[in-house]
């Protein structure tokens, strides 16, 4: 199981990525922590932080696009306001200010 320091480092990296792209991490801390643990478990098991919400085939070339942030996250955020697993969400406005 991933330790707190690994989770913190991964969260910081993904928060930087989200800000750079104009996204946010989901405000649901429990969901985010579950996804982060899944990413770290996949990294330990498979060598890459595959999205825990995607089915892996075991074929490296087919699975590489499933490394978080996955190949489909930008289109999903445009279409649904969040990626498939819900880790990344579109920036939202709260009380006239951006979040």
3 — pLDDT class (breaks 50, 70, 90): confident
Domain regions of the chain by residue span? 4-98
1 — pLDDT class (breaks 50, 70, 90): low
Q: Over 80: is that where the pLDDT of 98 sits? A: no
- pLDDT tens readout for residues 18-77: 999 999 999 999 999 999 999 999 999 999 999 999 999 999 999 999 999 999 999 999
Helix (H, G, I), strand (E, B) or coil at 88: strand
* pTM for this predicted structure: 0.87
Q: What does the buried/exposed string (b/e) look like for 17-46 if buried means 16 or more CB atoms within 10 Å of the residue's CB?
A: ebeeeebbbbeeeeebeebbbbbbebbeee
- What's the CATH number for 4-98? 3.90.460.10
């Amino acid at each position: 199981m991933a330790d707190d320091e690994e989770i913190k480092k991964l969260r910081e990296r993904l928060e930087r990525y989200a800000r750079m792209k104009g996204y946010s991490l989901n405000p649901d801390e429990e969901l985010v922590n579950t996804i982060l643990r899944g990413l770290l478990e996949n990294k330990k098991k498979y060598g890459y932080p595959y999205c825990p919400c995607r089915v892996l085939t075991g074929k490296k070339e087919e699975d590489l696009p499933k490394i978080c942030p996955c190949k489909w996250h930008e289109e999903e955020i445009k279409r649904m306001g969040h990626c498939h697993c819900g880790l990344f969400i579109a920036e939202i406005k709260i009380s006239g200010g951006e979040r």
